[in-house]
Amino acid sequence: MRLIDRTPKVDRRSFLASTGAAALVVTSTSVLCPTESWGVEAQNLKPETVRTLIRMSRDIYPHDRLADRFYAVAVKGMDGKATEGAPLKATLEDGVAKLDEAAKAAHGVPYADVGWEHQRVALLRAIEGDPFFQTVRGDLVVSLYNQKELWPIFGYQGESASQGGYIKRGFNDIDWL
């Protein structure tokens, strides 16, 4: 999948997803984030599915310091692997459809529009043993946390050999003990 690096134009047929850290816009082909100036073009999954997976990803690993684009990058990877005929595509589409059904039954709106995180988490707890949930979580635990761009936000410095290791860069600099 590719991240579209531009501020998208929101047309009248688009609808604003009303919850989330940043409002996401779903078009016929993409999920767009006007405030963060990015968009994800859905290649294999329905754009609504991509949007829901982004919401679900944040609910699985909620980091308030992380913008939606990090979750979008992770979901974009899943979308890229969910090619026509791949079992993953059915797992994700069917899983999201069922999650939406459960959300509508409980709250009258699709999953992505359920207002409170704890309400959405309760919906996820009910399915956490299912292949759909485990597939998303299992992918996400790598595809989210292995993004080098987010490591500095967590204070992780990554590769060090080319910089001479930490022998002169604070390997023993702790000062509060």
Partner 1 sequence: MPAPYKTDDDSVVVVIGSGAGGGTVGSELALNGVDTVILEAGKRYSIEDFVNDEWESFGQLAWLDERSTSGNWRVHKDFAGLPAWIVKSVGGSTIHWAGASLRFQDHEWKAKTTYGDVAGANLLDWPIDGKEMEPWYTKAEDRMGTTRTHGIEGLPGNNNFKVMKAGADKLGYKECSTGRMSINSAPRDGRGSCQQIGFCFQGCKSGAKWSTLYAEIPKGEKTGKLEVRPECHVTRIEHDDKGKVTGVVYFDKDGKEQRQKARAVCVAGNSIESPRLLLNSASGMFKDGLANSSGQVGRNYMRHTTGSVYGIFEKPVHMFRGTTMAGIIQDEAHNNPKRGFVGGYEFETLSIGLPFMAAFLDPGGWGRDFSAAMDGYSNMAGMWIVGEDMPQANNRITLNADKKDKYGMPTPNVHFDDHPNDNAMRNHAYRQGAALYEAVGATRTFPTPPYPSTHNLGTNRMSADAKDGVVNQHGQTHDIKNLFVSDGSQFTTGAAENPTLTIVALALRQAAYIRDQMAKGEI
Binding site for partner 1 (CB under 8 A): 59-63, 65, 121, 128, 137, 141-142, 144-146, 151, 154-162, 164-167, 169-174, 176-177
DSSP 44: S
Cβ 77 to partner 1 shortest distance, Å:
13
CA dihedral over 162, 164, 170, 171, signed as positive or negative: positive
Distant-in-sequence, close-in-space partners of 94: CB < 8 Å, separation ≥ 6: 132
Instruction: Pick the closer one to partner 1 by CB: 25 or 140.
Output: 140
Helical H segments across 20-86, by residue range: 47-60, 68-81
Cβ 133 to partner 1 shortest distance, Å:
9
Cβ 87 to partner 1 shortest distance, Å:
17
Instruction: Pick the closer one to partner 1 by CB: 109 or 145.
Output: 145
For tokens 């946390």, the residue is: 145
Cβ 165 to partner 1 shortest distance, Å:
3
- In the numeric block, which tokens belong to residue 55? 């919401």
Instruction: Pick the closer one to partner 1 by CB: 84 or 176.
Output: 176
**26 bridge partner residues:** 15, 31
Instruction: Pick the closer one to partner 1 by CB: 9 or 125.
Output: 125
